[in-house]
């Protein structure tokens, strides 16, 4: 049986870029797109399914390459308008990163994490993210490093129907806030090697499960919490088992100063020296990659290292902007030839929000309306992530690609008239405009409803455990 999606405004992948086909047709067989164009070569047969997409944009699902599902929903009320506790690094909100986040994570028990993940994954599906990189769990979140929590979270994503790269984090040191705006670092037993071994075993054993919808990724925590040997071990395992790598780097001036002080290198130099960089490597955040946070301050060797290694920088514009900071800038990264993708990081799990913030903040940083075009930003949210994952069959609507597809309504007051679908998707639309979501050709969201989740029951469970977690937070 084939599925014919007809009469929609189709965002097709043609000649190496996204292009619009008015009243286009997408034909799916099993989990794969077999045709995209103005008309199908063969009409639907008696047993085929036909979906009328009139008044809808038919687009590839988002490839959301950095997010945290297990603790994010419990940080609401703490991170949105948090007060800084030092005059240093105020734009990156030192207080939230080194004081508030560890406190909330310590308060999260295993049951609460899985319940939160269900609501987070449901929201991701509902708002059009079909491929997600989940980095929710690390040692400090309640459970003392039990990899069974990672397994339960991955199974939750699979039940909802998403395509997921699970990336359980490991690191050598924990950190926290010390008086006077300082950061302390404390080594784990064995410098975190037990957690590392557990994560490696999970990544090797679970990669490719659930008909290939579940993949895994090595995730050495924040770059400043990992000693050189742990990073080199990560690269050895990644190469041996063909696993991608994702690390947090460029989060704060404190991180940059720590690496410079401890190892006599910049962040990029440290990643190059330890073998982290490569076409399979994602850098989450990438905001403070230089002492002043300006990408123009990178030296030529650092630019060449990022560009020539084809490392992908994952931008998280909203979480930075709400703390008063900007990525300086997406346009500079583009001009330097460095690969980029987008993620939501924390709440809301809505890629439309981060696309709009990416375009807007970049234009503010560059004092120009001619940068961060809607097409470029949309490409970061789809193809940028897919290419970093080594998956040219994702983030695109073309024959041979996976049938991961979203329908976005444009028959509304907000959307009409729709002159340029890319401008609407990036600058006006929200996740609430998503009507249908398909992964591997199967519908997982219909009429805006996540089919495998009872929303009232799931929200009730979340509210109940959130009260428990909040009562355990010690700031």
Looking at the fold, whether 195 and 152 belong to one and the same domain comes out as: yes
pLDDT band at residue 229 using 50, 70 and 90 as cut-offs: very high
Q: Which tens digit of pLDDT belongs to each residue from 30-65?
A: 999 999 999 999 999 999 999 999 999 999 999 999
Is 451 a residue whose pLDDT tops 70? yes
pLDDT in tens, 128-185: 999 999 997 666 666 677 899 999 999 999 999 999 999 999 999 998 888 777 789 9
Q: Are residues 354 and 405 in the same domain?
A: no
Q: Which of 345, 364, 388 is the last residue of a domain?
A: 388
Q: In Å, how far are 7, 93, 130, 149 from 430, measured between CA atoms?
A: 22, 27, 15, 31
Which among 373, 292, 299 has a CA at the least distance from the CA of 330? 373
Same domain, 339 and 254: yes
Residues 293-344: tens digit of each pLDDT: 999 999 999 999 999 999 999 999 999 898 888 899 999 999 999 999 999 9
Q: Which of 343, 361, 388 marks a domain boundary?
A: 388
Residue 468 counted as domain residue: no
Q: Tokens 């990438």 correspond to what residue?
A: 286
Q: Is residue 464 part of a domain?
A: no
Dihedral (Cα; 267, 355, 371, 255), 10-degree rounding: -20
Note the Cα 458 to chain centre separation in Å: 23
Q: How many domains does the chain have?
A: 2
CB 407, CB 436: distance < 8 Å: yes
Q: How far is CA 149 from the centre of its chain?
A: 20
DSSP H helical segments within 242-399, as ranges?
Answer: 253-263, 267-273, 300-309, 317-321, 330-336, 351-366, 374-379, 385-388
In tens, the pLDDT along 355-397 reads 999 999 999 999 999 999 999 999 999 999 999 999 999 999 9
Collect all residues with Cβ–Cβ distance below 8 Å to 43 and sequence separation of at least 6: none
**For residue 143, what pLDDT is reported?**
66
> In this structure, is residue 51 part of a structural domain?
yes
DSSP secondary structure code for residue 322 in this structure:
T
Structural domain includes residue 222: yes
Residue 197 located in a structural domain: yes
Structure tokens at 314: 């994952």
The yes-or-no verdict on residue 90 having pLDDT over 60 is no
Claim to verify: residue 271 and residue 289 sit in the same structural domain: yes
Token pair of 33, please?
């797109």
Indicate whether 52 and 131 sit together in one domain. Answer: no
pLDDT above 60 for 92: no
Are 241 and 111 part of one and the same domain? yes
d(CA 91, CA 62): 28
Bridge partners, 67 (sequence order): 134, 345
- Two tokens, residue 62: 């988002």
CATH number at residue 409: 2.30.40.10
Q: Is the pLDDT of residue 458 over 80?
A: yes
Domain assignment present for residue 171? The answer is yes
Count CA within 13 A, CB hemisphere, residue 81: 1
Predicted local confidence at residue 87, as pLDDT: 60
Beta bridge partners of 37: 25
Query: What is the four-CA torsion angle of 37, 211, 56, 9, rounded to 10 degrees?
Result: -20
The upper half-sphere exposure of residue 4, i.e. CA atoms within 13 Å in the direction of its Cβ, equals 19
β-strand pairing of 129-134 with 62-67: parallel
Q: Same structural domain for residues 47 and 71?
A: no
Look at residue 376 and tell me if it is in a domain.
Answer: yes
Residues found in the chain: 475
Instruction: Based on the fold, state whether residues 401 and 375 are members of the same structural domain.
Output: no
* pLDDT of amino acid 136: 75
**Whether residues 93 and 21 fall in one domain:** no
The reported pLDDT for the residue numbered 164 is 98
Residue 86's pLDDT band (boundaries 50, 70, 90)? low
Instruction: Specify whether 54 is located in the same domain as 75.
Output: no
Tens digit of each residue's pLDDT (9 = 90 or more) over 399-447:
999 999 999 999 999 999 989 999 999 999 999 999 999 999 999 999 9
What burial class does residue 261 get, using C-beta atoms within 10 Å of its C-beta: 0-12 exposed, 13-18 middle, 19+ buried?
A: exposed
**Cα–Cα distance for residue pair 201/195, rounded to 1 Å:** 10
More confident residue, 87 or 376: 376
Asked whether the beta carbons of 10 and 24 are under 8 A apart, the reply is yes
d(CA 291, CA 254): 10
Q: Give pairs for 423-426: CB < 8 Å, separation 24+.
A: 423/374, 424/57, 425/57, 425/59, 425/352, 425/355, 425/374, 425/378, 426/352, 426/355, 426/356, 426/359, 426/374, 426/377, 426/378
Contact yes or no for 74/469 (Cβ under 8 A): yes
Residues 296 and 422 in one domain: no
Residue 51 bridge partners (DSSP):
5
Q: Does the structure show a pLDDT above 90 at 454?
A: yes
Q: Which domain range does residue 420 map to?
A: 2-60+395-450
Do 173 and 222 contact (CB within 8 A), yes or no? no
**Residue 105 resides in a domain:** yes
Shared domain for 321 and 440, answered yes or no, is: no
Cα 452 from Cα 61, distance rounded (Å): 18
DSSP state of 433: G
Query: Measuring CA to CA, which residue among 26, 133, 24 is closest to residue 404?
Result: 26
Q: Which two tokens mark 274?
A: 């330890």
- Predicted pLDDT at 88: 57
Which CATH number goes with the domain that contains 148?
Answer: 3.20.20.140
Residues 49-63 as b or e (16 or more Cβ within 10 Å = b): eebebebbbbbbbbb
């Amino acid at each position: 049986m084939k599925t014919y999606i007809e009469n929609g405004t189709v965002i097709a992948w043609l000649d190496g870029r996204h292009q619009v086909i008015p009243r286009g047709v997408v034909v799916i067989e099993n989990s794969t797109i077999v045709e995209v164009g103005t008309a199908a070569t063969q009409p639907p047969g008696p047993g085929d399914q036909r979906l009328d997409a009139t008044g809808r944009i038919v687009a590839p699902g988002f490839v959301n390459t950095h997010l945290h599902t297990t603790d994010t929903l419990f940080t609401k009320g703490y991170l949105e308008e948090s007060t800084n506790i030092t005059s240093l690094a105020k734009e990156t909100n030192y207080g939230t990163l080194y004081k508030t986040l560890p406190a909330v994570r310590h308060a999260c028990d295993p049951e609460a994490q899985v319940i939160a993940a269900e609501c987070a994954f449901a929201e991701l599906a509902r708002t059009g993210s079909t491929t997600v990189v989940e980095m929710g769990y690390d040692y400090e979140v309640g459970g003392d490093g039990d990899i069974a929590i990672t397994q339960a979270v991955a199974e939750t994503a699979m039940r909802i129907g998403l395509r997921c790269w699970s990336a359980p984090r490991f690191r050598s040191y924990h950190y926290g806030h010390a008086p006077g705006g300082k950061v302390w670092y404390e080594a784990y037993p064995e410098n975190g090697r037990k957690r590392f071994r557990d994560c490696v075993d999970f990544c090797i054993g679970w990669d490719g499960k659930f008909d290939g919808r579940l993949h895994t990724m090595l995730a050495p925590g924040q770059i400043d919490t990992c000693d050189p040997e742990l990073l080199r071990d990560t690269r050895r395992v990644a190469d041996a088992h063909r696993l991608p790598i994702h690390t947090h780097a460029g989060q704060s001036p404190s991180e940059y100063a720590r690496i410079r002080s401890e190892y006599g290198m910049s962040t990029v130099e440290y990643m190059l020296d330890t073998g982290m960089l490569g076409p399979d490597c994602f850098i989450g955040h990438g905001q403070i990659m230089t002492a002043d946070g300006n990408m123009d301050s990178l030296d030529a060797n650092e630019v060449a290292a990022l560009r020539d290694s084809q490392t992908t920088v994952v931008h998280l514009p909203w979480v930075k902007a709400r703390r008063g900071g900007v990525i300086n800038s997406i346009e500079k990264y583009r001009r330097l030839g460095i690969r980029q993708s987008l993620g939501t990081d924390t709440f809301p799990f809505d890629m439309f929000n981060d696309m709009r913030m990416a375009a807007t903040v970049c234009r503010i940083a560059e004092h120009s309306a001619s940068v961060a075009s809607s097409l470029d930003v949309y490409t970061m949210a789809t193809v940028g992530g897919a290419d970093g994952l080594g998956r040219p069959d994702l983030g695109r609507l073309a024959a041979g690609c996976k049938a991961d597809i979203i329908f976005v309504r444009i028959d509304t007051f907000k959307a009409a008239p729709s002159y340029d679908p890319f401008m609407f998707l990036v600058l006006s639309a929200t996740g609430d405009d998503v009507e249908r979501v398909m992964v591997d050709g199967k519908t997982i969201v219909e009429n805006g409803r996540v089919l495998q989740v009872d929303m009232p029951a799931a929200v009730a469970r979340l509210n109940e455990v959130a009260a428990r977690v909040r009562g355990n937070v010690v700031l």
